[in-house]
Structure 1
């Protein structure tokens, strides 16, 4: 039982990042609600997926599809962050919930496989382990969203984590390591993540300089 909870928490760091990014533009009182609803729905999907994990493993390019979906979601979260602020609270709230569900599920193939193995096919154990991890995910994502308010660069740090995850999933799904080598396959996701972080830092610096010029 402990193994199930531990595996899910270890593999859910990226999930907390995407939840934090999705809810950061919501009002403080809506963040916990969105995180709870989105994570709860995603966990229900995970339980269903874990119950048919043998089937999921046989699906070709499963990680590739999940990686592409996650890349699209990362783009939506980063590029459209300013336009999301202009949406009505209700629209932003449900959009955040939907993004959490889709992103969390697309990232959870490793969780599904790991948890299913630790549970030895016991669905009740799977449900219990995932349920225990929900409060930790919600607390972590809300804490992360709060830090993003104070330090905008964390938005790009979270984006870099998601880009690394999605690139790794795509490379794994397409089995590119067999063609380009294990070292390049490991290096490319880190390079993409670092590039996004550098771009985010330069943009934040330019924004800060522009703001200081306007004040003077």
Structure 2
């Protein structure tokens, strides 16, 4: 741990986490926005802790993850559903049991983090060069950053309710990027200039419009 290379690699891993964890903070904030104030911190802490544990394991197994066929396509599709589902859930559902809602929020945080964290996992695995201690320390240091960031976003969303659409759009864009990262999809899209942008725009707009429609129906009923 006194090796300068160790600290330079650790700094690189922390930087990667800061840069790539912005959208994770958004999904945490959206998932917790309907919880009572006293349960929001619990959901953030539990969800982030479990997500980091899963991410440490996934980073260690990153070499094997790369061998899973259509990994990015599957992950992107799941993330698209999460971004729509988070937007679809209206703020007026007061009949939901608080404990069930807490568990649901934690589940959403963990699943979304797994899907969104693939790039993060692979980047950290490369920076750590197989050093498991580096992986663990780097991720643990990044936890307070994710928790603080999600709490800040949550407070802003409470003040400006329309920001939930922005957050959902960010998640949908992350999902679209993942889908377009898939080798098979990229081979189909790359020959046509502008098609990648069109696919991203269509997916993001579809999520926002479907979510808005569903929320409007819920309020009307």
> Aligned to 1:139, which of 148, 156, 162?
148
* Residue pair 1:22, 1:100 contacting (<8 A) in 2 also: yes
C-alpha root-mean-square deviation of aligned residues, in Å? Answer: 2.5
Structure 2 residue 128 is matched with structure 1 residue 116: no
- Matches of residues 6-17 of structure 1 in structure 2 within 5 Å? 6-17=15-26
Q: Distance in 1 between matches of 2:184 and 2:79?
A: 18
Q: Distance in 1 between matches of 2:82 and 2:210?
A: 18
Q: Which consecutive residues of structure 1, in runs of 5 or more, have no partner in the other structure?
A: 207-216
TM-score, structure 2 as length reference: 0.84
Describe the superposition over 1:149-171 as per-residue Cα deviations: whole angstroms up to 9, x where unpaired: 11111100000000111111112
Q: Distance in 2 between matches of 1:62 and 1:31?
A: 31
Could you tell which deviates more after superposition, 126-135 or 172-181?
172-181
Structure 2 partner of 1:213: none
* Residue pair 2:83, 2:207 contacting (<8 A) in 1 also: no
Q: May I ask how many residue pairs the two structures share in their alignment?
A: 207
Deviant stretches of 4+, over 6 Å: 198-204
- Matches of residues 197-212 of structure 1 in structure 2 within 5 Å? none
Against the structure 1 CA distance between its residues 116 and 97, is the aligned structure 2 distance closer, same or farther, given a 3 Å change threshold?
Answer: same
* Residue pair 1:18, 1:100 contacting (<8 A) in 2 also: yes
* Residue pair 1:18, 1:103 contacting (<8 A) in 2 also: yes
Deviation at 1:186, TM superposition (A): 3.6
Q: Which consecutive residues of structure 2, in runs of 5 or more, have no partner in the other structure?
A: 1-9, 217-221
- Matches of residues 133-212 of structure 1 in structure 2 within 5 Å? 133-173=142-182, 175-181=184-190, 183-193=194-204
Q: Distance in 2 between matches of 1:31 and 1:191?
A: 33
Structure 2 partner of 1:34: 43
Against the structure 1 CA distance between its residues 190 and 133, is the aligned structure 2 distance closer, same or farther, given a 3 Å change threshold?
Answer: farther
- Matches of residues 20-59 of structure 1 in structure 2 within 5 Å? 20-59=29-68
Could you tell which deviates more after superposition, 181-190 or 53-62?
181-190
TM-score, structure 1 as length reference: 0.86
Against the structure 1 CA distance between its residues 136 and 104, is the aligned structure 2 distance closer, same or farther, given a 3 Å change threshold?
Answer: same
Q: Distance in 2 between matches of 1:41 and 1:187?
A: 35
Could you tell which deviates more after superposition, 176-185 or 136-145?
176-185
Q: Distance in 1 between matches of 2:111 and 2:207?
A: 22
* Residue pair 2:13, 2:124 contacting (<8 A) in 1 also: yes
Describe the superposition over 1:76-126 as per-residue Cα deviations: whole angstroms up to 9, x where unpaired: 211123365431211111110111011111111101100011111101110
Structure 2 partner of 1:209: none
